[in-house]
Amino acid sequence: MKIGFKFNQATLKKFVDDCARVGENALARLVFLVEGRAKKLAPKRSGNLWRSIISKITGNKGVVKATAEYARFVHQGTGIYGEYAHPIVPVKKKALMWAGAAHPFRSVKGQKANPFLLNALEEIRDEVLE
């Protein structure tokens, strides 16, 4: 006994279109989940970083990003914890000073990375693969 399927051109096109639509829906759902998780994981001191997290789907590509000017520094870290792994030192003055600092500093270590976007993607990936 043989089991088979016959597809004419119209049926095959509908099948391919249905598969593409399912793929688009799955991508949209995945991007939406990652955006939501990133918003939960992002630091919320002022709320600006949280509000700057957006997503966009173009064709078969989805992007989740934070558009706040300082998002990269929160995500990747600064100073000894960042990309260059050097303390932060003054360029034009002898010391660093900012509002609320107890005294001037010759250097500061920087801020540890908080990779909220990457962590969101990994958490969603683990949930989807379970």
Contact 53, 68 (CB under 8 A): no
> How many C-beta atoms lie closer than 10 Å to residue 25's C-beta?
10
Contact 56, 70 (CB under 8 A): no
**Residue 3: pLDDT band with limits 50, 70, 90:** very low
- In this predicted model, what pLDDT tens digit does every residue of 25-75 receive, in sequence order? 777 888 888 899 999 999 988 889 999 999 988 877 888 899 999 999 999
**Quick check: 13 pLDDT over 60?**
yes
Contacts of residue 88, Cβ cutoff 8 Å, sequence gap at least 6: 78, 79, 96, 107, 108, 109, 110
Could you tell me the residue ranges of all domains in the chain?
7-76+113-130, 78-111
| pLDDT of res. 107 | 92
- In this predicted model, what pLDDT tens digit does every residue of 72-119 receive, in sequence order? 999 999 999 988 899 989 999 999 999 999 999 999 999 999 998 889
Name the helix (H) or strand (E) containing 57.
strand 53-58
Task: Name which of 35, 33, 74, 31 is nearest 51 in CA terms.
Answer: 35
The whole-model pTM stands at 0.74
Burial class (CB in 10 A: 0-12, 13-18, 19+), 20: exposed
